[in-house]
Structure 1
Amino acid sequence: MTKPSTADDCQILQSYHAYYPVPTAAALWCGVPPKTIETLLQEAEPIEDGIFHHPEIACLDERCRVIHEAIEQDQLPCGRLGNGQLLHSQDPVPRAMRTIQRRDFKDWIEREFPADKPSLLFDAVERQRRSGISVETFLALKAEHDRLEKQLIKQKRRCKRLQGQKKSLKAHCHQLEEAQQHRPLGERAETTYLNIIAALMELLLPSPGDSSPAPRFRRQADVIEALLARHEGKPGLSQRTLQAKLAAANQRFRAS
């Protein structure tokens, strides 16, 4: 069953065929509510034929002038006192008697002033639409825009999540590096280091029965004393530690 017409539908049809005197059309274009137009126009001051000025309505006089010029240049059809018959410049109508149809007025504004569409004459879709673009095209473009905007929001969230994961991985790597630095030596690595130490000690100290030229140091204590003198305060180079490590190195080296 067809849905019955509503009062709003009737108002739309009535406004479609509505006629406005030029000052009324100019006031609507200025955004003046219909209920206050008559009162404000009665207060307006006529400054030229068919052109009015009101201190509370910005650009009322300019819009009156532009509308009259459009009528006189056959850009905007007009009638005489709203009788429905459209006249042209060949049939001049006194400015005070000119009336313009709502739909013609809207078409002219959309064509000549597409960025200046008042909400009292144009709905939200009409205000966003540009000349040469149909409603269907506009709605399709808007749907695509909304889809891309949702996709952008989704990608921003994903990027933020990945940045958080990157930060966590970086912190984890830092922890692993610190743990690796403080990790105790394995038995094989410790044996290697101790063997190197012992081999160096053999080069520095004389061996029993060796007739080679006299080495720089004759005793292990001399090596420790020289190390302490040159590297005082270095971590791991205390006298006690050096004695223990060198003894362990000699013992491990002889046993290998």
Structure 2
Amino acid sequence: MGKSNQTQHSKVFYRPIEAAIRWSGLVRFEARILNTLGDKIVLDVNDFPRWPMLKLNLERLYDAFRNGELPYGKSGITCDDPTLLTQPDLTVRHVDLKAWMTHYYPDQKPEFLFEGIERHLHSAINLDNLQALLIDREALKLRLTELEQSFKALQDQHRLLSEKASCGAGEDKTLSLRGESTYLSVIGGLLTLLLGKSPSGKRYSSFDTTTSIISALLAYFPGHPGISERTLWEKFSAAKRHVGDEAD
């Protein structure tokens, strides 16, 4: 497998013309450009007229050197010596160049400085923000899994109660007070979670109201015993009162 463009063309430090060549996307012409320039450190107006960005980007670098925006040095060693600005061994470090470009040219992310994921990020989003979003996403996925498991437990309980009711025809089918209290606590707790929000303000589920939950149940379990709009409203209202949650 070949190396990435960043790995191939990145260096620990660069001569200004080398950085300008990479910034301008002209690496494949680097040898030709360097041979043509020889010992020159700046470009004349008529140098490489086909590639105007090369001259502009080189001038941007020297402007940043002169105005103290971009650290420079000699042979990769940072040194604030203005006499170096006219010397052929003037260099700029990779890390300093990347930090400077991120600050002053956030819309430009050449491959030799930025990795793939960095180049595709919006300029307002940095890697720290992306990491925080990914962590928050994983936390929400875990919470959703917990809610789905709770909802499945409620479905299983409802199925068992329905089977018991079917098998116990003619027997006393009234729930004990303790059983009814447990039943209402489970339903009330699930309703609170399904309609609630995390401490950071994110909703635990896509349900906004009790009405939306009832509509989903009616659509998901048409014709099932006990799954009717009237019964669900009665049971949900009783459950919310039981857990002390009167919010809709």
Which category describes the TM-score, using the shorter chain as reference length? 0.3 to 0.5
Output the TM-score relative to the length of structure 2: 0.44
Output the TM-score relative to the length of structure 1: 0.42
Bigger relative contact order (CA 8 A; separation at least 6): 2
